[in-house]
Structure 1
Amino acid sequence: MLTHSVFFKLKFPQGSSEEREFLQAAAKLASIAGVQNFKSLRQLSSKNNFDYGLTMDFQSQEAYESYNKHPDHMTFVANF
């Protein structure tokens, strides 16, 4: 099992419509074939500069590579 993790700070204000749009679009990544255990995380600690995280598991490197090239993932990356 492989885990892909991304941690980030949004340029949009918390509670904004842009934040909601981003989080809704990110949640759709869970429906891409091969994605397992998708989680959208909110950072609570003041010890770092990140506000959010996305994690997901893949059964194999091939499954991750398929996800990484998937049109929905590529559109998400291009738009956000």
Structure 2
Amino acid sequence: MIRHTVFFKFKVGISEIEKQEFFKACNQLSLIPGIQNFEVVKEKSPKNDFEFGLLMVFDNSTVYENYNTHPDHVLFVQNYWLKKVEDFIEIDFEPVVE
């Protein structure tokens, strides 16, 4: 299992309407096959500068790679992410097996 997390902040000047459009587009990502437990979250801690996050789970690396290269994801990155996101951190992790 892979847990894919991305925390981000918007570019200065992005309006509330643009943010709503962005989140609507985010929610469409949840329709890509293989995504589980999709969430859009808001940061509550003052310990970092990120405002929001996207969380999702994939069964394995193959499913995760299919998501990364899926045309809907690629279009989201081009049409929304690159235009509206100022900074982000992406962390992908899997459980530690003992």
Q: TM-score range by the shorter chain?
A: over 0.9
Structure 2 residue 53 is matched with structure 1 residue 53: yes
Aligned pairs for 1:1-80 (under 5 A) are 1-11=1-11, 12-13=14-15, 16-80=16-80
Residue ranges of structure 1 left out of the alignment (5+ in a row): none
Unaligned runs of 5+ in 2: 81-98
Percent identity of paired positions between Structure 1 and Structure 2: 46
In terms of Rg, which structure is larger? 2
Cα offset, 1:47, TM superposition = 1.2
Alignment RMSD: 0.8
Q: Which runs of 4+ in 1 moved over 3 A?
A: none
By relative contact order (CA 8 Å, sep 6+), the higher-ranking structure is 2
1:13-44 Cα shifts (integer Å, max 9, x gaps): 4xx10000001100111110000000100001
Q: Distance in 1 between matches of 2:49 and 2:23?
A: 18
How many positions carry a matched residue from both structures?
Answer: 78
SS of residue paired to 2:37 = strand
Structure 1 length normalisation: TM-score? 0.93
Output the CA distance in 1 between the equivalents of 2:46 and 2:35. 30
